[in-house]
Amino acid sequence: MVTGELVLTQDGPLATLVITNPAKRNAMTAAMWAALPGLLEVLAKDRANRVLIVAGAGGTFCAGADITEAAAIARAGDESLAVAAERALAEFPKPTIARIDGFCVGGGCQLAVACDLRVAGASARFGVTPAKLGIVYPPATTRRLAALIGPAKAKLLLYTGELFEASEALDFGLIDRLVPDDLLSAAVDDLAATIAARSRLTLRAAKAVLGDLPVPAQDEAELAEGIAAFQERRAPNWA
């Protein structure tokens, strides 16, 4: 019996990856962590896709890793399944947006932090909770969190393990936009559509520079199209 799955759909240039395990508030099972890098690898090669939205099913983003499978999730040589999945998401070459409603806790917060942008509904709740379970958070995960919100705020989240509201997450810099719950999907779709209309090469280069990854070379044809579209006052026809 499938206890959880990652559901990937495509709508024009936008792909949506939905974390689906409603019986456990979309907790990530070992199989789900293991499946994520492969899904992202296939999607990265799909030229129709320009932006990836990561969301949770049924009003909850993700309540973390499935605690009943903690040993399996952690057991993978020098790198856990969760760390490998998080890295694959962080290094995905196209822009990623976390659409956050409900609980975004533990491993769910890991996934959100690994995205490029995070938009949350007003009733979302956040938490980084390893201290409540005696779990040593992976160094890469801890450093990525600290790089986003700063060491002091990261320590506050890690030391207390407490849940906090979306308004606090915005103040911390953990999320980029906060919108009413009923406008969340539309706000993320509008943001994703705006990004999808921009130069694929520029987006990839910006993500590479900011993520300390190899930067693609300038494409003269794309540059020429961008300049021509600007001069002709039309939308560019990106390759």
Q: What is the pLDDT of residue 227?
A: 74
Answer yes or no: are the C-beta atoms of 94 and 52 closer than 8 Å: yes
Spatial contact of 141 and 86, defined as CB atoms under 8 Å apart: yes
Structure tokens at 56: 């949770």
Residue 193 host element (H or E): helix 184-196
Q: What pLDDT score was predicted for residue 228?
A: 76
SS3 state at 39: helix
The secondary structure of 109-176 as a DSSP string is HHHHHHSSEEEEETT-EEE--GGGTT----HHHHHHHHHHH-HHHHHHHHHH---EEHHHHHHHTS-S
Q: What is the pLDDT of residues 47-98, one digit of tens each?
A: 999 999 999 999 999 998 887 777 666 654 446 888 999 999 999 999 999 9
Task: Print pLDDT tens along the chain (239 aa).
Answer: 346 899 999 999 999 999 999 999 999 998 999 999 999 999 999 999 999 999 999 999 999 888 777 766 665 444 688 899 999 999 999 999 999 999 999 999 999 999 999 999 999 999 999 888 888 888 899 999 999 999 999 999 999 999 999 999 999 999 999 999 999 999 999 999 999 999 888 898 899 888 877 777 676 777 777 777 777 777 887 66
Buried b / exposed e along 77-105 (16+ C-beta atoms within 10 A): eeebbbbbbbbbbbebbbbbbbbbbbbbb
Which residues in 155-214 belong to E strands, given as ranges?
Answer: 164-165, 177-179
pLDDT of res. 77:
46
Residue 78: per-residue pLDDT:
47
pTM of the full predicted structure? 0.91
Instruction: Say what the pLDDT of residue 1 is.
Output: 38
Q: Measured between alpha carbons, how far is 82 from 80 in angstroms, rounded to an integer?
A: 5
pLDDT of residue 172: 94
Say how many CA atoms lie within 13 Å of 75 toward its Cβ: 5
* Rg over CA atoms, the chain: 18
